[in-house]
């Protein structure tokens, strides 16, 4: 059980960090690591994303139960969130941030329900 929780925490953290950096790059409108570092975007992204990952980890543990086929849905969900973040954030930072968070919750819940439906 501890192994499963730590894997889910790692997945949550990686997803939150990568989406946070993409979000920060969209806000600053720069893909330069140097600019993002100097402006503090990377540092703020790591702190904020770690807090988000800690809050999302229980949902991730619930969505990806051990031994289920739901693990194959991580990459498509992450790709959907990246596309949403890249499309919406330049137009509205508010909807880019909170919309991505809402889509994460909806996606995780859908994955759990799909896994439950496929096992019966």
Task: Find out whether 85 and 56 touch, Cβ atoms under 8 Å.
Answer: no
Question: Average per-residue pLDDT in the chain?
Answer: 83
Residue 71: pLDDT above 80? no
Residue 39: what pLDDT? 80
- The structural domain count of the chain equals 1
Q: State the Cα–Cα distance between residues 86 and 109, nearest whole angstrom.
A: 23
Please tell me what DSSP assigns to residue 73.
Answer: G
Instruction: Give the pLDDT band (50/70/90) at residue 51.
Output: very high
- pLDDT at residue 111 tops 60: yes
Task: Give the range of the structural domain holding residue 8, as residue numbers without chain letter.
Answer: 2-119
């Amino acid at each position: 059980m501890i192994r499963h929780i730590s894997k889910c925490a790692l997945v949550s953290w990686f997803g939150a960090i990568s989406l946070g950096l993409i979000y920060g790059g969209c806000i600053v409108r720069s893909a330069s690591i140097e600019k993002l570092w100097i402006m503090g975007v990377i540092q703020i992204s790591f702190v904020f994303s770690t807090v988000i990952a800690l809050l999302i980890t229980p949902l991730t543990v619930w969505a990806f139960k051990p031994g289920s086929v739901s693990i194959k849905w991580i990459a498509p969900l992450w790709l959907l969130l990246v596309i949403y973040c890249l499309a919406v954030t330049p137009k509205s930072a508010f909807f880019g941030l909170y919309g991505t968070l809402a889509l994460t919750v909806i996606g995780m819940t859908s994955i759990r329900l799909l896994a439950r439906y496929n096992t019966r």
